[in-house]
Structure 1
Amino acid sequence: MFGSKVELLEKIRLGEDSYLELKDVRFAGGKVRGPRQNDLADELAAFANSRGGLLILGVDDRTREVLGIDTDQLEQVEILVQQSCEQSIRPPLFPMIERLMLADSTGSDRAVLKVEVAPSLFVHQSPSGYFHRLGSSKRPIPPDHLARLFQQRSQSRLIRFDETPVAKASLQELDEPLWRRFTPANAKEDPEHLLSKLAMASRDDAGVWRPTVSGLLLASHQPESYLPGAFVQAVAYAGTNIAPTAEHAYQRDARDITGPLDEQIFGACDFVRKNMQVAAQKTESGGREDLPQFDMLAVFEAVTNAIAHRDYSMPGSKVRLRLFDDRLEIYTPGLLPNTMTTDSLPYRQAARNEAITSLLARCPVERDELAHYRSHIMDKRGEGVPIILQRSRDLSGKEPDYRMADDSELLLIIYAAKFEDH
């Protein structure tokens, strides 16, 4: 936006509008006294809630004169902007911040800070509420407009987030054997266009090919390097609570399960299988059979749903798997999409990540005990939750429990089968 200095100076001389905000920077006692952090947050969030825009720090908004910022004070101003975006806006913003030299009215170069805010896929709240940009000023978003904006942007994320390019990641991060498994054997196109058709790569705003979120998640051995939290944190506890006791150690096993999403799914299932208890039970014919604490098909469906449908736009949040002596807990980051509730889960389906679920539907299930029920990881027929509920209930006699935890995670509790003493 206004890429050259000439274009930017011409825009400044025309004054503020829907895409441009100007602010001078005042210091007192070596500290920034104006603008305040919360005021900056309101302005930047308004741009993000609209169509994006530029904030230029170091320009008087009334006279449009380039006043500049002392070069040894630029760092302080940049820190102020970062704090405004990270501490005073929810969810946080990550604008492009650039230091520039612009000519003032005398032709002398002065340092300014250019803050470019892109249109967001989220609705951002700042200290004074929800704002959007209307002409040259920010305005509170009317309630009816705010409701529509939330709906529109939630739908945009539903379709687009897992297809967005990941900044700073290169296509070299994608392992060719991993992504080639999704392409036809006789495909002759160049890698960029093949990956694009799979929604695993896309061009960024500068026209550079980048892996998408789904590309890194399905074709990288370390997706968490660029997507913090893109792994499963699994812990097996001794007893029925987290607190250690005199009789029990704190943890029996713990592992961060990483890699492509299909490997994470099977790795999480292996963790449960390894750490759950299995009892020997007499059959009617006089033989004995193994009775596991948890039905592994139900566990497979639960883990698959958590990994496939979690909100990957929540940086640092991870799928958490907690195994206790009497239950299995699976925490999935993110709210339920659209108008779904925990009560409607058995009856409805909504995919948060269309590209991810489409790719997982092409990943074969090669484990003997699971391949009997399912040829590929996802079938997209909406049968996962009913399978979890029925098979877990049949084994333990107790209904699994879906809950929202802290309005940010979906918690599934699967209760363990109780073994009789023989």
Structure 2
Amino acid sequence: MTNRDIDLIDELRRLPAETAWMEFKRDNAEPNGIGKRCSALSNAARFESQDCAYMLWGIDDATHEVVGTSFEPDAEKISGQPLSLWLANCLQPSLAFEFRSVAHPNGRVVLLEVPAATGSPVSFNNIAYIRIGSATPKLADYPERHQKLIERMRPYRWEQDTAMRYVTGDDVLRRLDYSQYFRLTDQPLPDNRAGIFDKLAAERAIVSDVGGRWSITNLGAILLANNLDEFPIHIARKAVRFVAYAGSTRAQPVTHRLDMKKGYAVGFETLIESINGLLPRNEHIGSALRESHPLFPELAIRELVANALIHQDMTIAGAGPQIELFDQRLEIGNPGQPLIKPERMVDLPPRSRNEALASLMRRMNICEEQGSGLDKVIQLVEVFQLPAPWLRAEESSMQVILYGPRKFAEMSPDERVRACYFHAVLKALRGDRMKNASLCARFGIDPKNAAMATAVINKTLDAGLIRHADPEHLRAGYVPIWA
């Protein structure tokens, strides 16, 4: 990091003057002053749309020359506490600031890097400060600036964080599969490096760093990496894992395992091909035709895998999407509780923690347009007369289970109720209503045995998932409870 810090210091020195988010000092290291400035600089950085703010000791604030400093932050103690610990306890909310001692060629410099405020203004001893010129007044004394700062606060976006800093242009081109990016977005490959970097920067896959170098963002790494293992562990552990078993439980031997090293976008087709290549075949009887198909529809697998990648909680450490293939089911899981209840995922617009990632994957035609994917999965499941998928939310994960073909008599009561509910949802989305006859067709029940479908409808009514479309006319059909 030393070379980057030297370039960063030199870039800050080239600024014409101190800014609201950057301040030079010689040796003045009074603790309360540092605490106030941490608050003020952090808030000012967000106000000025900067990711970080800086204090530098050992720089003349008039000439910006490196003069060196005797300040030793690691040696400072306040009330018996190390300076960094004391500051951390005095700043609210917690702030991941960092002191770094830099051996600049012209003298020793101490660099304090302060992240921009997120969520709420940063306070020191319960008072928030702001920088105005070289002054550090209380934020409360400037209500218009306070309001503007609040407006500029934004929720944390994992995609915008840095995966790797201070990399050369050659390293960017080596670590990211840029040619696949242009192919997937249907753009011509530029004939020069500057054009490639301009496009990647416009996507926020990379951002300009100091010293003419680049930072690769989490978004760029997770989607375009040639090898995720070349990135820090918070990226590498997000790789997709695919495991196939010889039987119906995890106790059975593993027949195939794939730990994807490529980024999600550039490795997606290989992943889907690997899954489909291992699927057993199933005979599907359609309109007077008998055809052989994979056990699960490919479009359903594509959409569900893409959803697992897009909607996971990237902030959960040490966990990534996992796909497991058993002899009669496919389980697709991702870390993080869903933002929408599973029973409403088909009809409500999706909500993603990773909007930039979702948007780019849609432009790459990896998944369906927003809000049109899961209903197609349910529809395909019906066409193939498979049991309804199980959308299961757990404490820290989301899982979708696709089941192989089973006759109505082989389905459990819960599976029948789920299928009935999703059938009613699909009908409602088309402006129609579920009826006994349509549910018979869904399950492949002979109309002579319509009482079997009626029994499922009654259980689904008892479960509170559907209701009569018109209580005054019970033959009018059924709609989801929320319709």
**TM-score clears 0.5:** yes
Q: Which amino acid aligns with 1:405?
A: E
Cα separation, 2, equivalents of 1:167 and 1:332: 24
**Equivalent of residue 332 in structure 2, options 325, 330, 336:** 330
The alpha-carbon distance between structure 1 residues 198 and 69, as it changes in their structure 2 partners (threshold 3 A), is closer
The alpha-carbon distance between structure 1 residues 271 and 112, as it changes in their structure 2 partners (threshold 3 A), is same
Shift of 1:331: 1.1
TM-score when scaled to structure 1? Answer: 0.61
Structure 2 counterpart of 1:193: 198
Is this contact kept in 1: 2:180–2:266, CA < 8 A? no
1:88-107 matches, within 5 Å, as 95-99=97-101
Structure 2 counterpart of 1:353: 354
**Equivalent of residue 253 in structure 1, options 252, 256, 268:** 256
Secondary structure at 1:382's aligned position in 2?
A: coil
Structure 2 counterpart of 1:343: 343
Shift of 1:233: 0.5
Cα deviation 1:315-344 (Å, max 9, x = unaligned): 43211011122321111223434xx33233
Q: Which amino acid aligns with 2:333?
A: Y
Structure 1 counterpart of 2:220: 215
TM-score when scaled to structure 2? Answer: 0.54
The alpha-carbon distance between structure 1 residues 412 and 316, as it changes in their structure 2 partners (threshold 3 A), is same
Secondary structure at 1:15's aligned position in 2?
A: helix
Does 1:388 find its partner at 2:385?
Answer: no
Q: Which amino acid aligns with 1:306?
A: A
Structure 2 counterpart of 1:273: 276
Does 1:305 find its partner at 2:294?
Answer: no
The alpha-carbon distance between structure 1 residues 320 and 133, as it changes in their structure 2 partners (threshold 3 A), is same
The alpha-carbon distance between structure 1 residues 271 and 208, as it changes in their structure 2 partners (threshold 3 A), is same
Q: Which runs of 5+ in 1 are unaligned?
A: 22-45, 57-64, 72-76, 86-91, 102-110, 124-130, 140-148, 364-375
The alpha-carbon distance between structure 1 residues 355 and 115, as it changes in their structure 2 partners (threshold 3 A), is same
Secondary structure at 2:304's aligned position in 1?
A: helix
**Equivalent of residue 162 in structure 1, options 134, 159, 163:** 159
Structure 1 counterpart of 2:291: 289
Shift of 1:118: 1.5
Q: CA RMSD in A?
A: 4.8
Structure 1 counterpart of 2:245: 237
Shift of 1:13: 6.6
Secondary structure at 1:317's aligned position in 2?
A: coil
Secondary structure at 2:324's aligned position in 1?
A: strand
**May I ask how many residue pairs the two structures share in their alignment?**
328
Q: Which amino acid aligns with 2:354?
A: N
Q: Which amino acid aligns with 1:336?
A: P
The alpha-carbon distance between structure 1 residues 209 and 281, as it changes in their structure 2 partners (threshold 3 A), is closer
Cα separation, 2, equivalents of 1:406 and 1:13: 43
Structure 1 counterpart of 2:406: 418
Q: Which amino acid aligns with 2:400?
A: L
The alpha-carbon distance between structure 1 residues 98 and 136, as it changes in their structure 2 partners (threshold 3 A), is same
1:108-187 matches, within 5 Å, as 116-119=113-116, 133-137=122-126, 153-154=154-155, 156-157=156-157, 161-168=158-165, 169=167, 170-172=171-173, 173-181=175-183, 182=185, 184-185=187-188
Cα separation, 1, equivalents of 2:35 and 2:210: 23
Cα separation, 1, equivalents of 2:253 and 2:117: 43
Structure 2 counterpart of 1:399: 388
Shift of 1:384: 0.9
Cα deviation 1:160-207 (Å, max 9, x = unaligned): x32444333552322342344347438676433222222222124787
The alpha-carbon distance between structure 1 residues 250 and 18, as it changes in their structure 2 partners (threshold 3 A), is farther
Cα separation, 1, equivalents of 2:188 and 2:349: 36
Identity fraction in percent: 19
Cα separation, 2, equivalents of 1:391 and 1:138: 58
Is this contact kept in 1: 2:27–2:71, CA < 8 A? no
Secondary structure at 1:328's aligned position in 2?
A: strand
Larger Rg: 2
Is this contact kept in 1: 2:311–2:338, CA < 8 A? no
Secondary structure at 2:197's aligned position in 1?
A: helix
